[in-house]
Structure 1
Amino acid sequence: MCGIVAAVGDFDVNTCRRMLDRISHRGPDDSGEVHRPGVWLGHQRLSIMDVAGGHQPMVDAESTTYLVVNGEIYNHRHIREELGHELFETGSDSEAALHAFVVDGPAGLARLRGMFALAFASEDGGFLAARDPLGVKPLYWVRRDEVTLFASELRAFDAEDRPLVETFPPGHCWSPVGGLVRFADTVPAHVRPARRAEEPGVWERSLVKSVREAVVTAVENRMMSDVGVGVFLSGGLDSAIVAAVAAEYAARHGQPLPTFAVGAPGSSDLAAARTVAEYLHRLHGNIEHHEIAMTARDAVEALPRAVRAIEHFDPSLVRSAVPNLLLAEYASRWVHAVLTGEGADELFAGYAYYHEQPFTDPDALQAELVRTVGELHHLNLQRCDRASMAFGLEAREPFLDREVVELALSIPPEHKMVRPGVAEKKLLREAFEGCLPEAILSRGKEQFGDGSGAKDVLAEAVRSSPEVAAADGVELRSREEAAFYAIWWEELAGIRPERTLGRFATT
């Protein structure tokens, strides 16, 4: 995990270096840049794979193609097998992206399985930028007549460029010659439920087995690291499943597994996480559980830092970001990467509103699941990335593995609907029976900001905040959101929310 900046056209090198310096927190271990005619690449590195040999910008053996990457290529070993090990000089997963591009050009992006925002440059001034299909890793850009600028965070851009900042679309690549081209759909067009469920809530064992195997494979792929991996354990079903699979994998490899939980003293999240950690430790003997007790003062003091870190002012995101930030700050002292449960609710209909009108209709539910998965990069993924990377900590989301996404969205939506005797995410719960305590398998959905105790504390903290008039016609929905927007604007004045945060910030 890292931070990148890129420029193509008539740029100022000092501007590029200022931009890179503003995101140095994303990669505290190393920094690098390359300047070629009409192209500049900059990289802040968080060293996880091949700590000694993974410096960026990377360059191929002929010194004609350069690469900077923010993210992880989880199938890099498979790409090495396909392209030939003789091409590779390091153990870095990012090198797989470099050679895929050198061999196949932009078509090589289709080989990559993982989370990434990247930029290639060539000696003759060629350039290509790309972002993974789900937008797990952030990328923003500014297009002017004379120059195009890219960066991992909004804060990177100079004040005069901020009114032009836009979100670079997931699943797309851009070059000066070819323009903006889609190379992968966020949700592939072929992924549709195969058929209507004849008996909603009743499925064959083969489906349960497929769900379990897909999630297990995704978690195990994300355990790759030369510096250790931990788990953010909220005590909810999704993070508990991730922890269970990771604990078994780590035990097979003789490794400890640090787990991290945060909440107000006595909160339901802390209690549930402790139950999971103790259960897994009895099974595998390798859990190192850490609890961060969040006082009201901690939460209030972290609030402005959280808004600035996540570069967003949506109340539900901010409520989650406060405990997320405190968790990341602590966990970064122990590990460089953590696994999270992000994405499971959007894939398996975990949120309560999915089970209300109009989504009690299967087709409407399916359409909403597809939509919310496609919008994750504006919301929970942005919060997850920024809160962790504020402390140089990489977050990995196994449920957003391509195979898991495709499988989950191919399941008849009737199987995800709540009815008497059928709880939300019943299929997912059944897939991991025997891996977790029954109390956790049957625990109902609770928002992170609620379960951790942050919601009530923050609501009280902003109750007396003055109303704030928003700029650029942004419609603020509550006093709480207005208070968060004031903090956001102080940090990111000039940014147009509708261009960078998606429609949720304005409706």
Structure 2
Amino acid sequence: MLTRIEHRGPDDTGEIRRGNVWLGHQRLSIMDVEGGHQPLTDAGATTYLVANGEIYNHRHIREDLGHALFETGSDSEAALHALIVDGPAGLARLRGMFALAFTTQDGDFLAARDPLGVKPLYWVRRDDVTLFASELRAFDVEDRPLVETFPPGHCWSPAGGLVRFADTVPAHVRPARRAEEPGVWERSLVKSVREAIVTAVENRMMSDVGVGVFLSGGLDSAIVAAVAAEYAAEHRQPLPTFAVGSPGSADLAAARRVAEYLDAKHHNIEHHEVVMSRQDAVDALPRAVRAIEHYDPSLVRSAVPNLLLAEYAVRHVHAVLTGEGADELFAGYAYYHREPFTDPDALQAELVRTVGELHHLNLQRCDRASMAFGLEAREPFLDRDVIELALSIPPEHKMIGPGIEEKKLLREAFEGWLPDEILHRGKEQFGDGSGAKEVLEEAVRSSPDVAAAEGVELRNREEAGFYAIWRQELDGIRPDRTLGLFATT
């Protein structure tokens, strides 16, 4: 199982067996490259932990628990000691993206996944054994019909079973009040949005091996790049940015404009472009479907350029920031502004729903396409504080109208940070702006018709083609148990 996900952590391999518990880990070395080998253990070698992801508040946890407990600079060690000190309640201390497994010398065991499901986790429950892994491909063929998605915000132990420790969207988060006039808000709200996003980006800049930005040229990734560039300049660091698109594509041109603007301002941008030919996209298609372990057309279209970008970017950095999540929080997609979501309550409910489904969709694509090459993607807009603030904003403030463009509040929060033509650039899907959509639709027109295969409902010929590739790679997997089909609108 560990060998099948070696690509997720090509830097190191570690494993231990204690009693009837076995832990294995493929490491991508980002924090404490020399000392962060996993499984991590305490000074007495009585507890062990493997973790995938990042604990962004690990320094605060060190302060709270006492630096004397810690033996490495690894952020994952904060999770180890939080669980030692507080047991499962220690999960509430963790701010970040993670899937982890923890065991003691006596055979106690706990597995857990972050509240949003940014980091993947799957499991198989048999009478004689319970298995966990970060990707579907890790499981043996005979176990694949039993594979399920491990739910975000939950932990599991043999003694306590499956327990929710955090909601994806906390129950207390509700819009503060009805907006009296759409598109008009207090300056304090603009300031709060900007400060929350700036803090989230800065927290995700932690690394001992450098961080870059995936820069699509759209508003969301441009905001992330602008904040990251300022942080990097303050710390006298370069900021690599990476863009992908077909020759002459809108995304490449817009990303180049952002990079030039930020470099003129901070003198620290190292911009890279991956020019994707039609043949590049066609050749990458089966690799992309296999990598993301999904066949949804919108995900596959964006996964192809994403995969090519990750393959290039990993030569320069081990981690990148992305703009994922902003559209779900600030109503960036066109369908949010059509019936029935022109009603504020319906819009709010749909935003909450789509944030909760991200782990099945864009987050799965984002994680797999990058980790296929041992590159970690980080999503500042999906910071817990940003989510809570964004979903507490009256939904009327996210609705469009005469003179009110989508995500107006977000655009206003970052006036002066970006060129005006980028700040007010309209929404374009990544797979469309990069030039991949038409190429990939054409590439699968001659695929075998498997629309009735195994009773799986497929929506069009394009999806049938992607499904044929997916099924060839992941024979035995039940998509209804692992993909949350179908959550897109």
> Structure 1 length as normaliser, TM-score?
0.96
Check the 8 A contact 1:233/1:340 in 2, yes or no: yes
User: In structure 1, what is the Cα distance between the partners aligned to 2:30 and 2:454?
Assistant: 41
Aligned position for 1:283: 265
Question: What does 1:167-206 align with in structure 2 at a 5 Å threshold?
Answer: 167-206=149-188
User: In structure 2, what is the Cα distance between the partners aligned to 1:475 and 1:489?
Assistant: 14
User: In structure 2, what is the Cα distance between the partners aligned to 1:22 and 1:237?
Assistant: 36
- Residue from 350, 357, 361 that aligns with 2:332: 350
Aligned position for 1:231: 213
Q: Given the alignment of the two structures, is residue 139 of structure 1 paired with residue 121 of structure 2, yes or no?
A: yes
User: In structure 2, what is the Cα distance between the partners aligned to 1:506 and 1:188?
Assistant: 22
Question: What does 1:299-310 align with in structure 2 at a 5 Å threshold?
Answer: 299-310=281-292
Q: Given the alignment of the two structures, is residue 207 of structure 1 paired with residue 155 of structure 2, yes or no?
A: no
User: In structure 2, what is the Cα distance between the partners aligned to 1:354 and 1:257?
Assistant: 34
In the alignment, residue 190 of structure 1 is paired with which amino acid?
A: H
Check the 8 A contact 1:378/1:502 in 2, yes or no: yes
Q: What is the CA-CA distance between 1:470 and the residue it aligns to?
A: 4.4
Aligned position for 2:350: 368
In the alignment, residue 431 of structure 1 is paired with which amino acid?
A: A
User: In structure 2, what is the Cα distance between the partners aligned to 1:494 and 1:466?
Assistant: 19
Q: What is the CA-CA distance between 1:466 and the residue it aligns to?
A: 3.0
Aligned position for 1:270: 252
In the alignment, residue 217 of structure 1 is paired with which amino acid?
A: T
User: In structure 2, what is the Cα distance between the partners aligned to 1:236 and 1:313?
Assistant: 24
Q: 1:472 to 1:465 in 2, by over 3 A?
A: closer
User: In structure 2, what is the Cα distance between the partners aligned to 1:275 and 1:409?
Assistant: 31
Q: Given the alignment of the two structures, is residue 222 of structure 1 paired with residue 199 of structure 2, yes or no?
A: no
Aligned position for 2:466: 484
In the alignment, residue 66 of structure 1 is paired with which amino acid?
A: Y
| Paired residue secondary structure (2:156) | strand
Matched residues, percent identical? 87
User: In structure 2, what is the Cα distance between the partners aligned to 1:193 and 1:506?
Assistant: 24
Q: In the comparison of the two structures, how many residue pairs are matched? A: 489
Aligned position for 1:314: 296
Structure 2, unpaired ranges of 5+: none
Aligned position for 1:126: 108
In the alignment, residue 417 of structure 1 is paired with which amino acid?
A: M
Q: Given the alignment of the two structures, is residue 385 of structure 1 paired with residue 367 of structure 2, yes or no?
A: yes
User: In structure 2, what is the Cα distance between the partners aligned to 1:154 and 1:338?
Assistant: 24
Check the 8 A contact 1:475/1:506 in 2, yes or no: no
Q: What is the CA-CA distance between 1:472 and the residue it aligns to?
A: 3.2
Runs of 4 or more off by more than 3 Å in structure 1? 469-472
User: In structure 2, what is the Cα distance between the partners aligned to 1:506 and 1:269?
Assistant: 23
Check the 8 A contact 2:448/2:468 in 1, yes or no: no
In the alignment, residue 300 of structure 1 is paired with which amino acid?
A: V
- Residue from 54, 59, 62 that aligns with 1:72: 54
Aligned position for 1:47: 29
> Structure 2 length as normaliser, TM-score?
0.99
Q: What is the CA-CA distance between 1:465 and the residue it aligns to?
A: 2.3
User: In structure 2, what is the Cα distance between the partners aligned to 1:466 and 1:91?
Assistant: 52
Aligned position for 1:445: 427
User: In structure 2, what is the Cα distance between the partners aligned to 1:248 and 1:470?
Assistant: 52
Q: What is the CA-CA distance between 1:64 and the residue it aligns to?
A: 1.1
Question: What does 1:424-439 align with in structure 2 at a 5 Å threshold?
Answer: 424-439=406-421
Aligned position for 1:14: none
In the alignment, residue 227 of structure 2 is paired with which amino acid?
A: V
Q: What is the CA-CA distance between 1:464 and the residue it aligns to?
A: 2.5
User: In structure 1, what is the Cα distance between the partners aligned to 2:46 and 2:69?
Assistant: 14
Aligned position for 1:410: 392
Aligned position for 2:484: 502
In the alignment, residue 245 of structure 2 is paired with which amino acid?
A: G
Aligned position for 1:20: 2
